[in-house]
Structure 1
Amino acid sequence: MSGVVADGFNSSPMWEMIENGLQQPDLKEKAIKSVGAILVITLKNKDGKEQSWVMDLKDKGTVAKVDTPPKNDVQLILKDADFVKMAENKANGQKLFMSGKLKIKGNMMKAASLETVFKQLDPRAKL
Structure 2
Amino acid sequence: MGQAIVNMLLVALGGAVGGMGRFAISSFLAKHLGSAFPWGTLAVNLSGSIAAGWLLGTLGLPDAAADNSLWLVVVVGVLGGYTTVSSFSLQTLELWQRGNVAQAAVNIVATVLLGLVGVYVGWQLAGGSI
Decide: shared fold, TM above 0.5. Answer: no
Using structure 2 for the length normalisation, give the TM-score. Answer: 0.30
Greater per-residue strand proportion: 1
Bigger-Rg structure (1/2): 2
